[in-house]
Structure 1
Amino acid sequence: MDIRRITEDYAVSPQISPDDIPEIKAAGFRSIMCNRPDGEDYGQPEFDAVAEAARAEGIEVRCVPIVSGMVTPQAAQDFAAALEDMPKPMLAYCRSGTRCTMLWSIASYGRLSGDEIVSAARDAGYDMSGLVRQLDRG
């Protein structure tokens, strides 16, 4: 697994499987958010299978599926609500972790400065500078 910490309470990862849940629990995560629609790629584990394994380990789960490159205002709002409500620390996953980082950046904008967002994402291996420039322009 490739877990990348964005903040103390939020990390992202590429696609996880039910077999990864014990490692996720051992790492201390209390919740998992899926930002990937089922069926995006052939052979991708379905959310329900991941959720069942996570719940069996006492980890809260939620799915806020976002089609790659198509973040709607409602999707961003749903993500922000899940980020606020779910137990921390949280692991969010998608195909590569980029979508989860982008959603976190949008949800954090205004609470954190653009520089703080870019720096946190960069430290985890993601470039959010273009997104922050877009957010700055409104």
Structure 2
Amino acid sequence: MRFSDHYSIKPTHLTNGYLVEPERCPSWPVASSSPVDVEVTRNESQLIRAECRTAVTEMDTAWRRMQSAVTERLDQRVRDIQFLRKDLEWKLEQITGEADDLFKMSSRLAKALEACRRRRSSGAERPCPPEARRGTSWPRFWSSSPASSG
């Protein structure tokens, strides 16, 4: 006596994640199918497998194309950022140099003003250097020594 003779065990079919009894699933192949039906089912399954392979290949190609495009855009963005960074660094160096020059001019101006105040308070007849009265250019006027003004 077999186990299946004692208990009526029915084969089941998995449909959409649920177990379904064969009578409720019309696509369930019946064991008594003819050889022609089996061959048709086999051909259909081969077609489905071929379609699936084609779909997977197309998806892979599309994915690689998208990845390549995104990589190109990211590379371009990185190059743009590197260019902008170098440009900003150059401008920063330029502004830093100008600020240093302005600071030097400011300190020279402060020294010159202090010298003028000292001359004025000491009663000198010429409170400012003669270059200032003649209207010479700024660099000559603010130079550190009369010999360098030239």
TM-score range, shorter chain: under 0.3
Q: TM-score, normalised by structure 2?
A: 0.16
More helix by share: 2
Larger RCO, structures 1/2 (Cα 8 Å, 6+ apart):
1
More strand by share: 1
Structure with bigger gyration radius: 2
Q: TM-score, normalised by structure 1?
A: 0.17
